[in-house]
Structure 1
Amino acid sequence: MECGLSDLGFTGDKFTWQRGRGTDRWISEQLDRGFATSTWRSLFPSAEIIVHEVSTSDHMPLCLQLNRQVYMPRSKRFRFENMWIQENECRNIIQECWNGEHSCDIMHKMARCCVKLEEWEGGMIKELKLKMSNYRREMQRLRARRDEGEFVDIVKLKKKNNKITKLKNEAEEWQDTDDMIQDTIVKYFKTIFTAITTKAQMSDRIAFLRITDEQSSSLLQTVTEEEIITAIFAMFPDKSPGINGLNPCFFQVYWNIVK
């Protein structure tokens, strides 16, 4: 080429763009490419472009890998994964760690539980990688089913389910036309994002009030089990975990064991 560029090629799916997926007008093209000069290629002789699978865009992402590096496993901190709650074995491990040593304090039980779950996770990762590989093959198989009526019906059904057909306004009245639904949405967001500040509210912010003796006594009381339950279940399950890697989901799902 006159500009001195050459095609880097790629590995993966031969098409990088699609439109009308799952319909009788399904089109696939190789729109995206990677080019480089001879000087650049001499600097990165092992460079390659990899086309990845994706299910949410009509463009396939291209990843430029400059060097083919050998994977070196790195140690990582333990973190409880919410998907584990679907596995009965996870509950069995927690039950064993919590009830196996009655004389241990809660910190020791949590530490032992983390160790056992981490050992169990190793086998889970292998199984998960196998499932992901099967899902990728299924995506490739579905991509090839361009003219099958069954897949077209599924796509149409999903589009239908994703459409808002009616909404209730502030008066609890159903709005079922496009204009009425749009007006209801606009009014709702205008209401929640409109700040109403009175002089009384401003004075409350400025005033510095001291707590009473009764309030002080209440704060010094021992925390009750009801308060702990309220605090735990008020948190979003996937909030950041503690230093031991256990997040709110762990305590919410297995509260009957760890309480």
Structure 2
Amino acid sequence: MSKPFHFEAKWCLNSSFEDTLRRFWATHSDRLPAKLINVGLHLQQWSRSRFHEEKRSRLKLEQRLSALIDQDPTGKVLAKILKVQLGLNLEADKEKVYLSQRARVNWLQNGDRNTSFFHKATVAHHNCNRILGLEDESGQWVSNPDDMIRVVMKHFGDLFMASDSGGDDRVLNLVENRISSSMNENLLKTFTKDEIWLAVKSMSPLKAPGIDGYPALFYQQYWHIIGDEVTHFCLEVLNGRVEFGEINKTHLVLIPKVDKPKNLSQFRPISLCNVLYKIIAKVLVNRMSPYLDGCIDEAQGAFIPGRQISDNTLIAYEVQFSLKMKKKGKK
């Protein structure tokens, strides 16, 4: 089984990568989802072909630096040492980016080259993600991969399967109309290129990618190459001219809630969507955000900028504390 494609952030540090991507991108004329898959296969082959070359290049730089240090420190020698050192620093940066991308460490930003830390975080991240066995619905422990898949499929099938609960008209008729005609006109306006780019640049660059293996960094860094086609595809979907079934596929990932989880209730499922899907969703969110404040009750502690779910918890604690402290009086 071949390894699935995964865009490497360290490729952006390679001076030849942009020209390589431009060449691969111009080679294919498929629809965008298929084109991304085909370009990914080319990039995967390109990366494999460069792996040993980069390793040899780094070894040569280290040997060159060692030889230069043993020479008399003339101006010409010092200039060569500086040039070689810059090359080694670039290789170290590539290694740091490679490990930090896998470690999923978001709080540690630029400036720290502690690659041993990233390596340990990567190993811990992989160990945490391994599921060696699960309890089925009867409490029996299963460790065979096929049996675990069966348990997972049944659990989430029962959990998310739609049930026939009748029409919602009776409930919806009680909902107060909050969207005015002018607001509705703004919501129904044709989507634009600027809205697509605004959504792309506001995304976190290295969040876990979806099935196609591309993080938001790929779109942000090489928008001048792929931007026109991405914009055209997203606008076709947003303006109702194309169905989005091609990109509506996700990886379902189980995040442990506790140490050493045993059953599926101890996991939190998340869906890793393709960035194309995220772009379209984010454009819709940006379009609706200015009007949510008028649609969602002020008692609701989420979904609106400036509101947090924890606010309601803090208010409840304050009320409880006030009731305990109030010993006398009618109020």
Query: Which category of TM-score, normalised to the shorter sequence, fits these structures?
Result: 0.3 to 0.5
**TM-score (norm. length: structure 1):** 0.39
Q: Choose between structure 1 and 2 for higher RCO, CA contacts under 8 A separated by at least 6 residues.
A: 1
- Bigger helix fraction: 2
